Amino acid sequence: MAHGLFRLATAGSVDDGKSTLVGRLLHDAKAILADSLDDIRRVSAERGFGGDEPALDLALVTDGLRAEREQGITIDVAYRYFTTPARSFILADCPGHVQYTRNTVTGASTADAAVVLVDARNGVVEQTRRHLGVLGLLRVPQVIVAVNKMDLAGWDRGVYEGIRADVEAVAVELGISALSVIPVSALDGDFVVDRGASAPWYTGPTLLELLETLPVVVEQHVPRLDVQLVIRPQGALQPGYDAEEFRDFRGYAGTVSGGSLRVGDAVQVLSAGRPYAASVKGLRSTTGPVEAAHVGDAVVVELDTDIDIARGDTIVAGELPEPVREFAAEVCLLSDVPVTPGQRVLIKHGAQVVQAKVEGIDHVLRVSDFSKHPADRLGLNDLGLVRLRTAVPLAVTDYRDSRAAGSFLLIDPQDGTTLAAGMIESDAGAAHGAAAGRGVPEHAAA
């Protein structure tokens, strides 16, 4: 059995039964609190759910989010934490409507796996292609398609095999390689947590069995730490610490986003657009000094060289990505404010926020078939390729190489609104002369 924290996102068309599936998964995994279960049981009875054979309406588990959405209070992603004897999960429950594509992007951007629902009666529809396309664009490591409502399709093996073939064809088209297809009935619970006896022809794992055993894909790239905070106690220490030991202490706090960082490693630091060489003198975690820090670890790094490092600077063990001022990226609009050529924006990459300008828009993606079309602006929920120019060089990485170092946010400099989430495409940037601005430190966007 696999252990550790696993991030999971769900997506599906309206009425495909996503709420029921999430409720069934949490219920059968015994992840619903007793008082919440009592409320669900009471409301289900009041509504006459199940008719002559009263049953639990497990879609009520997600009713809080749905009510908020209908009232316009929030359309955000709902995050739920649950655990099984084999693994702990963070589940990102994404809205399924077309107009909430941005929420699917938000929920799936950090997921280790995503579950897409397909109604067995309808098969692969436009929204299925849309969700699979977004997951492919985000490079979600594992994609699971749950063919739901198989009970309404008579558990017909031919129906399942036909949908599986269609899904696999779409996955090949979109470049999704890690794909699993599972027949389920969220209403009855077959193959969600328990197997049931409805489909003896299906010998694969249940949904939970698969989720408990899928590997967490760890990005093994060049160890990198974006400095979030410079720590200089200068005598102001918590009780119990030796003031003399930390009198001249200078550490750089951040989270390791690739590989492992070790004491003694030679590193390069990108500060104010210029590279500097140093070595790791020490590493400290929340428990004290450590010899190594791995992906996801929050640590404080001490260097053997006195360099003027500030929040947003980058420490890399190995070759520093060549700083660039121009690059291209796929962006998903998260705000009502459109993005247009010539627009001044802020880019938040790692812990660094820099001024930038939208140089141009190459295309907008029609997410129903992922065809590309010319555009002079991008609006809410649009996905498209833009070219950006920054005021100072950034050590960016292609999103295909690192989801952490290859992603960023576009921010409105007027009010701080998050305009879009972006994924850097170095190939597309090269096609438009991105290399032209490399290594040229300037302090104002053109």
Query: Strands, DSSP E only, in 207-318?
Result: 224-226, 229-231, 251-255, 260-262, 266-271, 274-285, 288-290, 292-294, 298-303, 314-316
DSSP code string of 322-376? PPEEEEEEEEEE-SSS-B-TT-EEEEEETTEEEEEEEEEEEEEEETTTTEEE--S
Can you give the pLDDT at residue 65?
Answer: 52
CATH of 3-213, one of 3.10.20.740, 3.30.300.30, 3.40.50.150, 3.40.50.300: 3.40.50.300
Output 271 or 281, whichever has higher pLDDT: 281
Lowest-pLDDT choice from 187-201, 265-279, 406-420: 265-279
Question: Residue holding tokens 């022809």?
Answer: 201
Can you give the pLDDT at residue 302?
Answer: 94
Q: What is the DSSP letter of 321?
A: P
Task: Write down the domain spans for the chain.
Answer: 3-213, 224-316, 324-425
Q: What is the DSSP letter of 256?
A: B
Cβ-Cβ contacts under 8 Å for 52 (sequence gap 6 or more): none
- Do residues 377 and 420 touch, judged by C-beta distance below 8 A? no
Using the CB atoms, write b or e for 93-126: b if 16+ within 10 Å: bbbbeeebbbbbbbbbbebbbbbbbbbbeeebee
> 254 is written with which tokens?
């951040």
> Is it the case that residue 313 has pLDDT exceeding 70?
yes
Residue 371: exposed, middle, or buried by beta-carbon count in 10 A (0-12, 13-18, 19+)?
exposed
Can you give the pLDDT at residue 66?
Answer: 56
Rounded-to-10 torsion of CA 145, 150, 155, 159: -60
Going by pLDDT thresholds of 50, 70 and 90, the confidence category of residue 74 is: very low
Query: pLDDT over 70 for what percent of the chain?
Result: 86
Q: What is the DSSP letter of 190?
A: B
Q: In what helix (H) or strand (E) does residue 420 lie, and over which residues does it extend?
A: strand 418-425
Going by pLDDT thresholds of 50, 70 and 90, the confidence category of residue 257 is: confident
Can you give the pLDDT at residue 69?
Answer: 47
> Is it the case that residue 434 has pLDDT exceeding 70?
no
> Is it the case that residue 98 has pLDDT exceeding 90?
no
Rounded Cα–Cα distance for residues 424 and 429 (Å)? 8
Mean pLDDT of 145-170: 96
Measured CA distances, 360 to 62, 328, 363, 374, 379 (Å): 41, 9, 9, 11, 14
pTM across the whole model: 0.78
Q: Do domains 224-316 and 324-425 have the same CATH topology?
A: yes
Q: Tens of pLDDT along 320-365? A: 788 889 999 999 888 889 999 999 999 999 888 999 999 999 999 8
Lowest-pLDDT choice from 46-60, 128-142, 281-295: 46-60
Fold for domain 324-425?
Elongation Factor Tu (Ef-tu); domain 3 (2.40.30)
Number of separate helices (H) and strands (E) present in the chain: 8, 23
Lowest-pLDDT choice from 180-189, 362-371, 386-395: 362-371
> 281 is written with which tokens?
């003198």
Can you give the pLDDT at residue 180?
Answer: 96
> 63 is written with which tokens?
């009713």
Rounded Cα–Cα distance for residues 252 and 309 (Å)? 8
Can you give the pLDDT at residue 440?
Answer: 32
Output 311 or 13, whichever has higher pLDDT: 311
> 324 is written with which tokens?
């660039």
- Do residues 358 and 342 touch, judged by C-beta distance below 8 A? yes
Can you give the pLDDT at residue 75?
Answer: 52
Question: Residue holding tokens 């991030």?
Answer: 7
Q: Please, what is the average pLDDT of the chain?
A: 84
> 250 is written with which tokens?
């200078």
Can you give the pLDDT at residue 213?
Answer: 93
Can you give the pLDDT at residue 63?
Answer: 61
Using the CB atoms, write b or e for 268-279: b if 16+ within 10 Å: bbbbebeebebe
Cβ-Cβ contacts under 8 Å for 292 (sequence gap 6 or more): 260, 261, 262, 263, 283
> Is it the case that residue 256 has pLDDT exceeding 70?
yes
Can you give the pLDDT at residue 443?
Answer: 32
- Do residues 433 and 326 touch, judged by C-beta distance below 8 A? yes
Q: Tens of pLDDT along 189-241? A: 999 999 988 999 999 999 999 999 998 876 667 888 999 999 887 656 666 67
Secondary structure class of 294 (helix, strand, coil): strand
- Do residues 263 and 280 touch, judged by C-beta distance below 8 A? yes
Can you give the pLDDT at residue 428?
Answer: 59
Mean pLDDT of 382-389: 94
CATH class of 224-316: mainly beta
Q: Tens of pLDDT along 17-59? A: 888 898 899 999 888 878 777 888 888 887 777 766 767 777 7
> 21 is written with which tokens?
């599936």
> Is it the case that residue 407 has pLDDT exceeding 60?
yes
Output 389 or 134, whichever has higher pLDDT: 389
Going by pLDDT thresholds of 50, 70 and 90, the confidence category of residue 64 is: low
